[in-house]
Amino acid sequence: MKATETKLKGCFILEPTKFGDSRGYFFESFNEQTFNKLTGTETHFVQDNQSYSTRGVLRGLHAQAGEHAQAKLVRVLEGKVIDVAVDARPGSETFGQHVAVELSAENNVQLFVPRGFLHGFVVLSDTATFFYKCDNFYNKAAECGVKFDDPELGIDWGMSADELIISDKDQVLPTFSEVFNK
């Protein structure tokens, strides 16, 4: 497994070591000891999530607030997505900045999204199965989010607005400044 820290401190791109042979391939998709050594953290994941979406579905930008904040290790089991993490950590040098990474069943790339980040993704393939580990349990009351197309964030989702499929809930999310600069 190789880990590369992004411009957002604590946010890492991880690439598994793949062992191929005449049958196909094998790789360790997660190893707590390896992960914590590579990221310099003591992360302990407690919940796995999986979602299935069709092309153009955009889920996000979401987070859980306060003590219910979640770090996430995200990857794609089938299909291709653009995955986005936005730094919403108070006082961070990269506050309001984001990274966008292509995750796919072909590249097997993972993104570690630390606590204090907003997270979302858009599906580029016909369908996508998205899998992620969380280091804190789901808490509906602590859910918060920011509008995917907030001009202050300037995220290029790689698709035109008319191609996107977005939940009613996500359509009416506030702007980044309304949530984090209040």
Ligand X SMILES: Cc1cn([C@H]2C[C@H](O)[C@@H](COP(=O)(O)OP(=O)(O)O[C@H]3O[C@H](C)C(=O)[C@H](O)[C@H]3O)O2)c(=O)[nH]c1=O
Of the pair 72, 115, the CB lying nearest ligand X is at 72
Q: Which of 25, 52, 62, 138 is catalytic?
A: 62
Q: Is 62 a catalytic residue?
A: yes
Which positions touch ligand X (CB under 6 A)?
49, 51, 59-60, 62, 72, 119-121, 138, 167
Of the pair 26, 138, the CB lying nearest ligand X is at 138
Of the pair 17, 167, the CB lying nearest ligand X is at 167
CB of 68 to ligand X, least distance (A): 11
- Tokens 């999310």 belong to which residue? 173
Q: Which residue is nearest to ligand X (CB)?
A: 138
> What's the 3-state SS for the chain?
CEEEECCCCCCEEEECCCEEECCEEECCCCCHHHHHHHHCCCCCCCEEEEEEEECCEEEEEEEECHHHCCCEEEEEEECEEEEEEEECCCCCCCCCCEEEEEEECCCCCEEEECCCEEEEEEECCCEEEEEEEECCCCCHHHEEECCCCCCCCCCCCCCCHHHCECCHHHHCCCCHHHHHCC
CA distance 164 to 12: 27
CB of 28 to ligand X, least distance (A): 23
CB of 15 to ligand X, least distance (A): 21
Q: Can you read off the two tokens belonging to residue 118? A: 């907003």
Of the pair 75, 119, the CB lying nearest ligand X is at 119
Q: Which of 52, 68, 132, 138 is catalytic?
A: 132
CB of 59 to ligand X, least distance (A): 4
How many residues comprise the chain?
A: 182
Residues assigned a catalytic role = 62, 132
